[in-house]
Amino acid sequence: MINDSGPTHVEETVSETTSDTAQLISNEASSSNYAQLNRSVTLQNSDDDELNGSHGVRRRHPVQKIEPGSMNILSAKYESLDYDTCENHLLLDEERKRGYPFIVWKDIARWFVILQIGVVTALIAFIIDICIEEFSRIKYKQLKKSVDIYVLEDKLYIPYLLWVLSNICIVFFGSVLVSYVEPVAAGSGIPQVKCYLNGVKVPRVVRIKTLVVKAVGVITAVVGGLAGGKEGPMIHSGSVVAAGISQGKSTTFNKDFKIFHYFREDHEKRDFVSAGAAAGVSAAFGAPIGGVLFSLEEGTSFWNQALTWRTFFGTVVSTFTLNFALSAYHGHPGELSYPGLLNLGKMEPFPFQFYELPVFMLFGAVGGILGALWNYINYRLAVFRIRYVSAPWLRVVEACLVAAASATCGFLMMFLLDDCRPLGEDPTKNPLQLFCADGEYNAMAAIWFQTPEESVRSFLHDPIGSYKPWSLLVFIICYFLLSTWTFGLAVSSGLFIPNLLTGAAWGRLLAILIQYMLPSNSINPAKYALVGAAAQLGGVVRMTISLTVIIIETTGQISNALPIIVTLVVAKWTGDFFNEGIYDIHIQLAGVPLLGWEPPPLTHTVYASEVMSHPVFTLRTVESVGHVLELLRLVSYNGFPVVDPPLSDHAEVTTYKRLRGLILRSQLIVLLQNKIYNENANTTWSNLNVDMNMFRKEYPRYPSIDELQIEEWEKSCSIDLRPFMNPSPYTLPHRASLPRLFKLFRALGLRHLPIVNDVNEVVGMVTRKDIARYRVWRHRGHMGMEELLLSSE
Ligand code: ATP
């Protein structure tokens, strides 16, 4: 049940806190006053909890320590990005001085940066691909040699141990890097990029160090024989490349190239990151259109035509560069026949009849169910890891254990399943005879003694009858479990390939069953393997538009689009019935305040006055340095409304203050750091020699307040905030509804929204976390709304 009592009670709540708020902006407030006020804020919060408990939607939760692994928390550690432009005097002055030529110059620079992003992303993909291919070739060649020798001596445990050991050593290296050097490089990186594009700052996610660990990590994960892929990490890599190039500086190397400083703003960086993510998809799958659609479907909260063009340009450059480099590497320079890392081989157009559509739907439903199961198992494992496997050394041990388990599964299948095929019918790089007769090879060994990507190709292209149903069934169970165990380990690897592989295997198995039931029909196994692969992946990630286009572009067959669309849509619907997509599950587990596409339904009767925080910590247009310093030390908030000074002493304790603007913590810190204050409060800002570059120089990592050196005498100086604050921040009246707040935040990428009363006085403050707290849940056809808790970690 939702509160429908209307916004009227805001006046009561507001008047209760008037004196507190007034005191907060008091210039003479001492530390003890602040401590007292802070306590009163906390008390106010807990009172509100009780007050609103009866309304169905509770208003406020104090920050709490919560059981790790809970899905109902928002973590306080995530800050928001600020996609709103601060139109202060400095910016206007800069625009006035530079004029139109600068706009043209900036636009040319933008296209040039996108060009570089496409080229560099493709080159990174090229290096990763070549390393994986070459190292895997050496590894599997040696293993094959060892099996061929020791099978005759009946000492197969030697190649087995060699396999386990090589897997463990390689994965150990990658896992140590991820666990100890850069933990944020773990996994595919897609959830983190999605959060970034949504407006949440995930610490260290777009740093060069992360990119290096990611690139080395993904090579070790795939060569180490884990059930993971290189495609997801490529998307993350593209984003890091974009963030790095567009900013013209590197925090990791502490180097500022002093270029592109006009792109040092959150919204500019976000646009480049979304183009980088798209370039990553494009390089990974050879899918330029799929890349653009991926950024649109999965990530960016802001989109327009200009961004579409630039992103498309980046994806095309990326595909072209990678194609060129790979073609040259494979000895066909200029042929351009290697468009992406994932090459599923050229598929023939498969004819399909109208009556086959229900079969594709069935495949979609199976994919949805299996995908939901995969997500559920992975979720349980993730919770277990958060609770019991959080120490870095334990995470390394777990990764090594999975590496050993992967080799063991493969070995047992080769050893125990009697699946022999005549040589020469299908292209197999390392045909192992093992216990087969002369002129035959072990089909399971052929699948395991190659990279997962090559195995997907085998399942898609090998002729019918290449695999026995039992072998396929055992493979499906093993690989399904291995891949769900692998995703979330402390290694850099994605889930696209393992799921395509599992899906292609069960697609093939179903094709055999169909053939068995309808013997007259000649079945095309490639068709069902491809549809199965799409269904399984769709059931896990719940992407539809972009995944359809990616699969079409990867297989080079537009005429196969309809079966894939039907399958993916049904897989998504079926999967959504049980749980969320895997990326959303991990985002929720991390407690990220992500804003979905739509506001929670039936919340038009939840008002801003219930959502907002109050009393609000504000600053006056001209403040003393001591007061600003004390406030920044006391509270960790990142935004402060700037208000008019009270007209009289009496007014200070009885009324709210009129809103004049909004200033960020980072701006205040830069002002204090550069000592932009004076003993005389009346100094005009134009006398101070400052411009926007003062702020851009520090972006995006500003010093903390404790790092500033401020002398005691400086505290009595005055700081005029007017030239630096945003003089026209977005505001909403206290009677605005939650959906209205949500839409403003989501569409404009806001970070802070002051709530005002009828005469433009600040009565509350709303941030992303206040809104993200309201979440819709769906479970097996039921629906409701819950209010999340705010955790202190
Ligand atoms: P962010 O972390 O998103 O960058 P922030 O640090 O300013 O922004 P949050 O951490 O989101 O703010 O805020 C936590 C809580 O503090 C929210 O409930 C928010 O409404 C409240 N809050 C934020 N700024 C102020 C302020 N100036 N005065 C009072 N409460 C505030």
CATH of the domain at 207: 1.10.3080.10
Closest ligand 1 atom to residue 770 Cα is: 18
Residues 35 and 148 in one domain: no
Best substitution site from 665, 767, 774 to test ligand 1's pocket, by max atoms within 8 Å of Cβ?
767
How far is ligand 1, taken at its centre, from the CA of residue 767, in Å?
6
Query: Residue 243 pLDDT > 90, yes or no?
Result: yes
Task: Enumerate the β-bridge partners of residue 421.
Answer: 441
What's the confidence (pLDDT) of residue 449?
Answer: 87
For 420-425, which contacts have Cβ atoms below 8 Å and span 24 or more sequence positions? 421/466, 425/462, 425/463, 425/466
Residues 372 and 312 in one domain: no
Residues 519 and 667 in one domain: no
Residues 381 and 414 in one domain: yes
Residues 12 and 125 in one domain: no
How far is ligand 1, taken at its centre, from the CA of residue 637, in Å?
5
Ligand 1 atom 23, closest CA: 637
| Domain assignment present for 709 | yes
How far is ligand 1, taken at its centre, from the CA of residue 192, in Å?
22
Ligand 1 atom 24, closest CA: 637
Question: Is 490 in contact with 190 (CB distance < 8 Å)?
Answer: no
Query: Residue 378 pLDDT > 90, yes or no?
Result: yes
Lowest mean pLDDT, pick from 275-289, 369-383, 389-403, 553-567: 553-567
Handedness of CA 75, 79, 82, 86 (dihedral sign): positive
Highest mean pLDDT among 204-218, 514-528, 668-682: 204-218
Closest CA relative to residue 106, chosen from 116, 117, 95, 90: 95
| Domain assignment present for 342 | no
How far is ligand 1, taken at its centre, from the CA of residue 78, in Å?
11
Question: Count of CB atoms within 10 A of residue 645's CB?
Answer: 15
Question: Count of CB atoms within 10 A of residue 97's CB?
Answer: 9
Complex-level ipTM = 0.97
| Domain assignment present for 519 | yes
Dmax (CA) for the chain in angstroms is 101
How far is ligand 1, taken at its centre, from the CA of residue 42, in Å?
14
**Of the residues 304, 329, 354, which one is the last residue of a structural domain?**
329
Q: What is the mean pLDDT of residues 674-681?
A: 78
The residues, ordered by sequence, that sit 6+ positions from 421 with a Cβ below 8 Å of its Cβ are: 440, 441, 443, 466
Query: Residue 19 pLDDT > 60, yes or no?
Result: no
Residues 432 and 489 in one domain: yes
Highest mean pLDDT among 95-104, 109-118, 282-291, 452-461: 109-118
What's the confidence (pLDDT) of residue 570?
Answer: 97
- Say which amino acid occupies 123: L
What's the confidence (pLDDT) of residue 447?
Answer: 87
What's the confidence (pLDDT) of residue 793?
Answer: 66
Question: Left (φ > 0), alpha (ψ -120 to 50) or beta: where does 199 sit?
Answer: left
CB of 592 within 6 A of ligand 1: the answer is no
Best substitution site from 38, 657, 769 to test ligand 1's pocket, by max atoms within 8 Å of Cβ?
769
CB of 672 within 6 A of ligand 1: the answer is no
Average pLDDT score, the chain: 85
Helix (H) or strand (E) holding 752: strand 752-756
**Alpha carbons 112 and 515: distance in angstroms, whole number:** 54
| Domain assignment present for 177 | yes
**Of the residues 589, 606, 625, which one is the last residue of a structural domain?**
589
Residues 282 and 156 in one domain: yes
Query: Residue 213 pLDDT > 90, yes or no?
Result: yes
How far is ligand 1, taken at its centre, from the CA of residue 635, in Å?
9
What's the confidence (pLDDT) of residue 425?
Answer: 62
How far is ligand 1, taken at its centre, from the CA of residue 130, in Å?
47
Number of domains in the chain: 3
Query: Residue 618 pLDDT > 50, yes or no?
Result: yes
Lowest mean pLDDT, pick from 208-222, 341-355, 477-491: 341-355
| Domain assignment present for 557 | yes
Q: What is the mean pLDDT of residues 486-504?
A: 95
Q: What is the mean pLDDT of residues 674-683?
A: 74
Q: What is the mean pLDDT of residues 686-714?
A: 84
Lowest mean pLDDT, pick from 192-196, 486-490, 700-704: 700-704
Residues 503 and 569 in one domain: yes
The residues, ordered by sequence, that sit 6+ positions from 597 with a Cβ below 8 Å of its Cβ are: 746
Question: Count of CB atoms within 10 A of residue 500's CB?
Answer: 30
Query: Residue 464 pLDDT > 80, yes or no?
Result: no
Share of the chain above pLDDT 70, in %: 87
What's the confidence (pLDDT) of residue 148?
Answer: 87
CB of 79 within 6 A of ligand 1: the answer is yes
Highest mean pLDDT among 72-86, 573-587, 701-715: 573-587
Domain of residue 138 covers 104-329
Closest ligand 1 atom to residue 60 Cα is: 18
What's the confidence (pLDDT) of residue 66?
Answer: 61
Question: Comparing 601 with 221, which gets the higher pLDDT?
Answer: 221
Q: What is the mean pLDDT of residues 629-655?
A: 79
**Of the residues 589, 622, 647, which one is the last residue of a structural domain?**
589
Residue 339, token pair as written in the block: 């468009």
Query: Residue 142 pLDDT > 80, yes or no?
Result: yes
Best substitution site from 21, 82, 637 to test ligand 1's pocket, by max atoms within 8 Å of Cβ?
637
What's the confidence (pLDDT) of residue 4?
Answer: 39
Q: What is the mean pLDDT of residues 289-316?
A: 88
Task: Please report which confidence band the pLDDT of residue 65 belongs to, taking 50, 70 and 90 as the band edges.
Answer: low
| Domain assignment present for 95 | no
Q: What is the mean pLDDT of residues 315-325?
A: 93
Query: Residue 516 pLDDT > 50, yes or no?
Result: yes
Highest mean pLDDT among 9-23, 145-159, 173-187, 777-791: 173-187
Task: Enumerate the β-bridge partners of residue 307.
Answer: none
What's the confidence (pLDDT) of residue 687?
Answer: 60
**Alpha carbons 154 and 50: distance in angstroms, whole number:** 74
Residues 781 and 654 in one domain: yes
CB of 666 within 6 A of ligand 1: the answer is no
CB of 638 within 6 A of ligand 1: the answer is yes
Residues 683 and 769 in one domain: yes
Question: Is 192 in contact with 202 (CB distance < 8 Å)?
Answer: yes
pLDDT in tens, 323-358: 899 988 988 887 777 766 677 777 777 777 788 889
DSSP state of 578: H
3-state secondary structure of 356: helix
DSSP state of 326: H
CB of 665 within 6 A of ligand 1: the answer is no
| Domain assignment present for 335 | no
Query: Residue 226 pLDDT > 60, yes or no?
Result: yes
| Domain assignment present for 356 | no
Residues 514 and 408 in one domain: yes
Handedness of CA 177, 179, 182, 187 (dihedral sign): positive
| Angle separating helix axes 665-673 and 625-634, nearest 10 degrees | 130
Closest ligand 1 atom to residue 640 Cα is: 27
Residues 635 and 580 in one domain: no
Q: What angle do CA 633, 767, 700 make, to 5 degrees?
A: 60
CB of 699 within 6 A of ligand 1: the answer is no
